Amino acid sequence: MTGCASNPVDYHGDYPNNNINQHAVIVQPQKPVQPLIQAPIVNNYSVNLAGDYVNNPEVQTFIQHMVQTHGFSQDYLVGLFSQAQRLDFVIRLESPEPYKGPVTRPKLGSWTKYRSQFLTEAHINNGVEFWRNNAAAIAKASATYGVDPEYIVGIIGVETFFGKNFGKTCIFDALTTLAFDTHRRAPYFTQELENFLLMAKEEGYDPRQPKGSWAGAMGYGQFMPSSFRKLAVDFDNNGRRDLWQPADAVGSVAHYFSEHGWQLNGVVTRPTQAEDSPDVIELGAATGSEYWRIYDNFKVIKKYNSSNKYAMAVHQLAQAIKQRYN
């Protein structure tokens, strides 16, 4: 998910990152999983679409694509999309155009305000508790993928407050609305809808059951469907990738970091002085500007969300949790 630096929006919690997985959208899972259940075969579905998308030619074209390319049953998809609900609040949230003006200096106090959402006693204490409750999985993920454990915990804390805020929107309805009722990024969301239906088929999910963000992000780590299919792992070896379960979520976040080049024990960022360099960022604190030199691991965090404030919040929350955990 992206947002301008002065007003970041969580990629997996709200907006998808426009830089991730847009060109290679239909990706085979790293570790194919045999679904526990097949998508239900329903015989009483009408051949013609009903409901909010009755006679919608774009939905009809999409159904034919899924039938011809991926072998879905047309009757099944017609029935599924006949149940889809157009979500007006999703249209409102997606509609504003992003700021495209000149790059400006961070607004004074904007970083302090943003930081205060995540660097709280509640976040730190819940992070310590999450780490202790999932210590074995976190240690295994760190060793398997070469990712410092505190950053696995930190991402989950910023994304969903350690599972307390998964989102309550039906993913299928959200992605259908974004694909066929919005225009700015409709091709992107159409690809994510395609990935979501394939994910549901591969993993044995009823497509109408998963809940998450209004933009289609899911689970503890708020993965978009394309990221789920490419990078989610069955870390508890129960035959199913389930990012609403801590073990799979922990392993998948670590895998995500690893695939994007995380360096174990590597420097993330350090305070510095103002400098005209792409490796020095400015953040607007309440008392004035802060300048930070960023390293490769900071840039890996930004693969998750391109905002400097987001990446710094993950870093500082991770360090605060680590200090209290130890």
CATH number at 267 reads 1.10.530.10
Does residue 157 or residue 26 have the better pLDDT?
Answer: 157
Residues paired with residue 7 on neighbouring β-strands, in sequence order: none
| Contact of 17 with 49, CB cutoff 8 Å | no
List the helix and strand counts (H, then E) for the chain. Answer: 13, 5
In terms of pLDDT, which residue wins out, 16 or 321? 321
Position 104 scores a pLDDT of 79
In a domain, 275, yes or no: yes
- The residue among 212 and 14 whose pLDDT is bigger is 212
Q: Which residues have a catalytic role annotated?
A: 159
Question: Domain for residue 284, yes or no?
Answer: yes
Q: What is the pLDDT, as a whole number, of residue 326?
A: 85
- Number of compact structural domains in the chain: 1
Q: What pLDDT is stored for residue 101 in this prediction?
A: 74
Average pLDDT score, the chain: 87
CA dihedral 138, 141, 142, 146 (to 10 degrees): -170
50 is a domain residue = no
Instruction: Please state which of the ranges 22-31, 57-66, 83-92 shows the lowest mean pLDDT.
Output: 22-31
pLDDT digits (tens, 9 = 90+) for 199-251: 999 999 999 999 999 999 999 999 999 999 999 999 999 999 999 999 999 99
Residues 39, 177: Cα–Cα separation, whole Å: 21
Write out the residue range of the structural domain in which residue 140 sits: 110-163+263-325
Q: Pick from 2, 299, 268, 292: which is nearest to 150 by CA?
A: 268
Does a structural domain hold residue 20? no
127-152, pLDDT tens digit by residue? 999 999 999 999 999 999 999 999 99
pLDDT for 33: 36
Whether residue 239 contacts residue 260, with contact meaning beta carbons closer than 8 Å, is answered with no
Q: Phi/psi of residue 128, each to 5°?
A: -60, -45
Residue 22 inside a domain? The answer is: no
Residue 40: pLDDT above 80?
A: no
Residue 318 in any domain: the answer is yes
199 located within any domain: no
pLDDT band at 100 (very low <50, low <70, confident <90, very high): confident
Give per-residue pLDDT as tens, 267-306: 999 999 999 999 999 999 999 999 999 999 999 999 999 9
Confidence class for position 4, pLDDT limits 50, 70, 90: very low
Rounded average pLDDT over 19-39: 35
pLDDT band at 27 (very low <50, low <70, confident <90, very high): very low
pLDDT class of 47 with cuts at 50, 70, 90:
low
**Residue 290 located in a structural domain:** yes
Q: Is the pLDDT of residue 28 over 70?
A: no
